[in-house]
Amino acid sequence: MRPENYRPVKHPPSHEYELYFGPNHPGIEGNYAIRVRLKGDVIIEAIADGGYLHRGFEKIMEERLWIQNVALVPRICVPDPVPMEETYSRAVEMIGGLEVPVRAQWIRVMLLEMSRICAHLFTFGGNAATIGLYTNMFWGVTMRDYFLDLFEEVTGARIYHMFITPGGVRRDLPEGFLGRLGNLLDELERRMPEFEDLFFESAVVINRASGIGIISQEQALSWGVTGPNLRACDLPIDLRRDDPYLVYPELEFDVVTVEGGDALARMMARRGEVIQSIRILRQIIARLPSIGGAIRSPLPNPLAWNLPVGEAYARTESSKGETAFYIVSDGGPRPYRVHVRGPSSMHAVQVLEKLLIGARIEDIAQIMFSLDACPPEVDR
Amino acid sequence: MSDIRPKYKGSLLRPMKALSFLFREPATLPMEPREATELYRGFHLNDWEKCIGCGTCGEICDNSAIRMVDIPGLPGDPAAGVKARRPAIDYGRCCWCALCVDICPTGSLSMSREYVHVSRDLDTYLILPDEAGMHGENFQKGWAKSEDSDLLDLTRRAMGELEAEARSDNFNEVTPGYDAQTALLEASRCIQCGMCHEACPAHMHAPEYIRAIWDGDMERAVGEIYRTNPFPHVCGRICTHRCETACSIGRRGDPVAIRWLKRFAMDQVEPEKVQEIALKNGIAKSTGKKIAVIGAGPAGLTAAFDLAKLGHKVRVYEARPEPGGMMRYGIPEYRLPYDKLDADIEVIREAGVEIKCNMRLGEKENLQNLRKGNDAVLISTGMNLGRSTRIPGSDHPQVASAVDLLARITLGEDIKAPKRIAVIGGGNVAFDIARSMARLQRRQYGAVNMTVLALEERGAMLADEAEVTEAADEGIVLVNGRGPKQVKISNGALAGLETVKCLSIFDEEGRFHPRYDESDLVLHKVDMVIEAIGQMSDTSWLGDDLTEALEWRRGRIAVDDDGRTSENWLWAAGDLVQGPDVIHAVAAGHKAAASIHSAVAAKKGAVK
């Protein structure tokens, strides 16, 4: 090396070190990483390092026909794919002026709430696993799987349903489906006390999760926190009520809020939402049979479907927060530009980075899971 | 709701309740085959009998997982809209969205209720689905074609037409054409599979011009149309539209109205602009070669247009006062207005083609002179003589031939239509003359008494369905299954036509050989009988020497695939060689022109 190229390395103090946390670490949700600087086992700096899941959704969508994107959008969030389909479709409907038949709207709400339950059950499980309670993870995944069976019945697929299309849904409900959904909700209600025993009221959980990753109300609002994470700061904000879409105005449910803003509060908010989703689904089971009519409005030939020039921002209250699509059409058969507002892109980057400061190394996973961050929403 | 946060420290013992699960049924399933749900989207199934190889599944596939593969030995039939290829699916790319199933025009694609494929051999992930499924285990159908999610628009936009009262005493065009919005919607139904292109005798670029119409670019559409057809106004109105027969959308719904779309595009663009577009590639530098075309019908004029663009000096000789052949003298004006035909011919003239009318060969000019004065001669004189039934009494003056009458109507002769007329025949010509004469009847008497006597049963008729229904609207009576027996004449005047019931039309070998029930005799009391049972060519003007020298095939001049006769200076095309319609004539004209061009280009020097 030439002497003029020599740059002395600035060494950190000997008691600080840097740890690359992820992307294969079992405590990380999805393929994601955080570079943390530690002093002892206390984090003094954290930098989110995504990109491991980058598939270029937004760019790919510009290359695909309006209908083809239906097959792409659920992949943006694996545990909670229905809001993605719904939001994309609604944005397209807004630009194209498409009406969604009432029956399709009810079916969509049903799927949205089923998906919310699935996602929350999955998160309970994941959250428990981060503090070593694997039994709860198995239970969560099991209950979710029963819901996936029902999804398979309605949509023909278990995870990526690709079922909601602009203008409606692709199939009507199979015979006797609502009865089976009711049975499963009974089972879930029966199981909820067992979840309480094992998890929500376990001393281990309460001690580990209390006071971890606290977000104040001011911070939550300024950092763009949405969804259950916001409601866990005792802020009653829910798009289903505040900016209603589909048939939510006709449904009764409470906006679940919890005080505290810590990891425990976030878990409790999700538990409360599962109960509310069951309540919504019960109303749907009662109302849906009396609602007839078509399940989709006619679409033009998808190979020659030009949407008018325009733009639309559609948003949905997903299990993670405000999921939104901003779509611009230049009048062609494909979107000119699509922007996905994945709620996790706030939760897993700016919020997580700040919450981790001062936390201990063993709490990294718990904090991330309590935010219910979904890395593909970051890497769109 | 903030009361749901536990206010206590939590229990260490309550989680132990989970131990009760040791004594419960496991939630996990044993490793054995599991029944998928009825809508499950598993591996693809494809009914090869139904599949037409259109490739639309590959078009909609968002992951390019579907590729069309040519299957050797599989019968393909362009005229029926079947290609000898089937979709192959790459499960390394497929995302099981089933858009391919939802768009499949035939409904042949579906997905099975099979969950699992495990193999270390990557080639097994690329399959050619058939009905037995990926592993040949005949799993049940899962996601299949359903009206719920059908992505195709199967309903054709209706073409309006003049009300029967408004049209039945004049020769105004019956159909007004699409308006812009209707045309756009109709064009949007096309899935661009290209079946029409293959089926069209002239291989018109229908997918391209339909897409241009959908894009709102009519000038591009006209350009696409003129790539293969110099008679777009004509074909946009009276084409027999083989394209629509082959259209994939027609498998389960109404085919795209390709003909009306062509008409729409042509009607939108100003004639001057059409000329500019049609000749946008310019006319080649003069080759100095001279070519004579005899007969200004669709075949001759198409060849003349092509040859003129290639730089040859083309002169067309036409016996009648105006060019157009059967398009003018055979097709009634209410189907094809003359100004539209003139517009097409004007483009051909603009390319440098010289059309000499009122030049019947053998009078002012003859074939031997033309041979001497030109490098090549194309004859395309069509079929102008009506065939006669040759039944007793058919030589009566009140027994007329349909083609003669149609020509006379075009020529503007004052024709007295008798009060009661019978037409023998069940093809389009029969309806053309019946509807034309009915118009004259209505003009003269205010009433129609017209009977069309067809040999065929209603379902097997050769005439277009639209012709039959429109004729019925205009008050024309159709009688099916009747064969002519004799023309009754009393005191020298035509008294009527006797018909017998037709039992069958073809013999076992499929030859035309009708059998009649002679006992079922009906007398139709009419004042005039018109025969519309087919036409034939008049080739007497060729002269004995040439007739002797030429090869003939079943009464027609024998030509090779490119229209060249056994005499190396003479080509023939159109109805004279092979019918039956304008678009076939256009196709034959193109072939003959290409053949003439390569032949004269090989010849040294121009004729002095």
The domain that holds B64 is classified in CATH as 3.30.70.3270
- In angstroms, the CA B68 to CA B70 distance is 7
Residue A29 has pLDDT above 80, yes or no: no
CATH number at residue B299: 3.50.50.60
Residues B473-516 pLDDT 10s: 999 999 999 999 999 998 889 999 999 999 988 888 888 888 99
pLDDT at B605: 55
Q: What is the largest CA-CA distance in chain B?
A: 124
User: Distance (Å, rounded) from C-alpha A303 to C-alpha A59?
Assistant: 20
Question: What Å distances lie between residue B29 and A125, A145, B25, B33, B53, CA to CA?
Answer: 20, 11, 10, 10, 41
B-chain residues near A202 (CB < 8 A): 10-12, 14-15
- Asked if the C-beta of A142 comes within 8 angstroms of chain B's C-beta atoms, the answer is yes
Per-residue pLDDT for B2 more than 60? no
**pTM over 0.95, yes/no:** no
Whether the CB-CB separation of B495 and B525 falls below 8 Å is answered with yes
Over residues B311-370, the pLDDT tens digits come to 999 999 999 999 999 999 999 999 999 999 999 999 999 999 999 999 888 777 888 889
pLDDT of residue A275: 94
- CB spacing of A265 vs B5 below 8 angstroms: yes
B203 is written with which tokens?
């291989």
Residues B313, B271 share a domain: no
Window A:265-284, CB contacts with B under 8 Å? 265, 268, 271-272
B524 and B546 assigned to the same domain: no
CB B233 within 8 A of CB B266: yes
Together in a domain, B271 and B405: no
Mind listing the pLDDT tens digit for each residue in B463-483?
988 899 999 999 999 999 999
C-alpha span between B187 and A304 (Å, rounded)? 9
| Domain stop point among B254, B278, B302 | B278
Contacts of A218 (CB under 8 A, 6+ apart): none
pLDDT (average), residues B604-608: 52
Residue B376: the pLDDT is 94
- Beta-carbon separation of A300 and B60 below 8 A: no
User: Using CA atoms, how far apart are residues A263 and A214, in angstroms rounded to an integer?
Assistant: 7
Q: Which CATH number does the domain housing residue B193 bear?
A: 1.10.1060.10
Boundary-marking domain end, from B484, B513, B535 = B535
- A103-126 burial, b at 16+ Cβ within 10 Å, e below that, comes to bbbbbbbbbbbbbbbbbbbbbbbb
Asked whether residue B443 falls in the same domain as residue B519, the answer is yes
Q: How far is CA B512 from CA B455, B487, B500, B504, B515, in A?
A: 11, 22, 17, 9, 10
Label residue A162 left, alpha or beta by phi (over 0 means left) and psi (-120 to 50 means alpha): left
Question: By the CB < 8 Å criterion, does A297 face chain B?
Answer: no
B1 has pLDDT over 50: no
- In a mutational test of the A interface, the residue from B24, B28, B39 whose CB has the highest number of chain A CBs within 10 Å is B39
pLDDT tens, residue by residue, B35-86? 889 999 999 999 999 999 999 999 999 999 999 999 999 988 999 999 999 9
User: B8: pLDDT confidence band, cut at 50, 70 and 90?
Assistant: low
**With pLDDT > 90 as the criterion, what percentage of chain A qualifies?**
66
Among B13, B14, B24, B110, pick the best mutation site for testing chain A contact (most A Cβ within 10 A): B14
More confident residue, B487 or B603: B487
In the three-class reduction of DSSP (H, G, I as helix; E, B as strand; rest coil), residue B399 is classed as strand
The reported pLDDT for the residue numbered B5 is: 61
In a domain, B27, yes or no: no
Query: pLDDT at residue A277 above 60?
Result: yes
Judgement on whether residues B516 and B549 belong to the same structural domain of the protein = no
pLDDT for A334 equals 94
Is there a single domain that holds both residue B370 and residue B393? no
Q: From CA A274, how far away is CA A144, in angstroms rounded?
A: 12
Task: Answer whether residue B145 is part of any domain.
Answer: yes
B519-554 per-position pLDDT tens digit: 999 999 999 999 999 888 888 888 888 888 899 988
Which pLDDT value is given to residue A43? 93
Q: In sequence order, what DSSP letters do the residues of A80-128 get, joined into one string?
A: S-HHHHHHHHHHHHHHHTPPPPHHHHHHHHHHHHHHHHHHHHHHHHHHH
| Residues belonging to chain B | 608
Same domain for B513 and B395: yes
Task: Answer whether residue B14 is part of any domain.
Answer: no
Domains of chain A (ranges; CATH) run 56-341 (1.10.645.10)
Q: Is the pLDDT of residue B13 over 90?
A: no
**Are B493 and B403 in the same domain?**
yes
Q: How many domains are there within chain B?
A: 4
The arithmetic mean of pLDDT across residues B254-279, rounded, is 94
Contacts (Cβ under 8 Å, ≥6 apart) of B41: A156, A157, B96, B97, B98, B111, B142, B143
* Residue range B189-200, pLDDT digits in tens: 999 999 999 999
Q: Is the pLDDT higher at A183 or at B15?
A: A183
- Say how many C-beta atoms besides its own lie within 10 A of residue A153's C-beta: 19
Q: Please measure the distance between the N-terminal and C-terminal CA atoms of chain A and give it in whole angstroms.
A: 41
Of A162, A197, A301, the CB nearest to B17: A197
What pLDDT sits at residue B4?
A: 60
Is B116 within the bounds of a domain? yes
Whole-angstrom distance, CA of residue A170 vs CA of residue A178? 17
**Share above pLDDT 90 across residues of chain B, in percent, rounded to a whole number:** 66
Q: Identify which of B6, B15, B62 has the shortest CB distance to residue A68.
A: B62
Q: What is the pLDDT of residue B220?
A: 95
Same domain, B310 and B430: no
Judged by a CB distance cut-off of 8 A, whether residue A201 touches chain B is yes
Instruction: State whether B445 and B461 are in the same domain.
Output: yes
Token pair, residue B61, equals 């596939």
pLDDT above 80 (res A26): no
Tell me how many residue pairs between chain A and chain B have CB atoms under 8 A apart.
154
Q: Which residue of B has its CA nearest to A206?
A: B10
Predicted local distance difference test score (pLDDT) of residue B24 = 84
Nearest CA in chain A to B14: A197
B429 with B530, same domain? Answer: yes
Nearest to B278 by CA among B239, B222, B316, B356: B222
The reply to whether B8 falls in a domain is no
Cβ–Cβ contact A150 with B under 8 A: no
Question: What is the reported pLDDT for A224?
Answer: 92
Q: Do B40 and A203 touch (CB under 8 A)?
A: no
* Together in a domain, B503 and B526: yes
* Mutation site, A303, A306, A334, A370, interface B, largest B CB count within 10 A: A303
Is residue B170 scored above 50 in pLDDT? yes
CB contacts, 8 Å: A234 with chain B: 2
Look at A7-21, A326-340, B546-560 and tell me which has the smallest mean pLDDT: A7-21
pLDDT tens digits, B287-298:
889 999 999 999
Contact between A316 and A86 under an 8 Å Cβ cutoff? The reply is yes
Cα–Cα nearest to B489, from B397, B389, B421? B397
Q: Is the pLDDT of residue B27 over 90?
A: no
Is the confidence at residue B608, as pLDDT, over 50? no
Is residue B531 included in any domain, yes or no? Answer: yes
Mean pLDDT, chain A, integer: 91
C-beta separation of B593 from B600 below 8 A: no
Handedness of CA B192, B193, B195, B201 (dihedral sign): positive
Yes or no, beta carbons of B97 and A70 under 8 Å apart: yes
Question: Is residue B409 in some structural domain?
Answer: yes
Cα–Cα dist B266/A131, whole Å: 74
The predicted structure's pLDDT at residue B381: 92
Q: Which residue has the higher pLDDT, B256 or B139?
A: B256
CB contact under 8 A, B41 and A305: no
Strands (E), B387-469: 399-401, 421-424, 450-454
Distance CA A313, CA B36 (A): 37
CB spacing of B99 vs A71 below 8 angstroms: yes
d(CA A44, CA A356): 8
In this predicted complex, what is the ipTM? 0.89
Contact B67, B53 (CB under 8 A): no
Classify burial at A12, counting beta carbons within 10 Å of its beta carbon; exposed 0-12, middle 13-18, buried 19 or more.
exposed
* Beta-bridge partners for B112: B141
Q: What range does the domain containing B83 cover? A: 44-149
Nearest CA in chain A to B152: A301
Q: Does B151 sit within 8 Å of A301, measured CB to CB?
A: yes
Per-residue confidence band for A300, with pLDDT thresholds at 50, 70 and 90: confident
Query: What pLDDT sits at residue B7?
Result: 61
Q: Which of B278, B303, B338 is the last residue of a domain?
A: B278
Q: Residue A69 in contact with residue A334, Cβ under 8 Å?
A: no
How far does the CA of residue A194 sit from the closest CA of chain B (Å)? 7
Kindly indicate the confidence band of residue A283, based on its pLDDT and cuts at 50, 70 and 90: very high
B493-506 sheet: strands from edge to edge: B482-490, B493-506, B512-524
Q: Is residue B11 part of a domain?
A: no
Mean pLDDT of chain B: 90
The pLDDT score that the predictor gives to residue A1 is: 66
- What is the rounded distance in angstroms from the CA atom of residue B474 to the CA atom of residue A138? 77
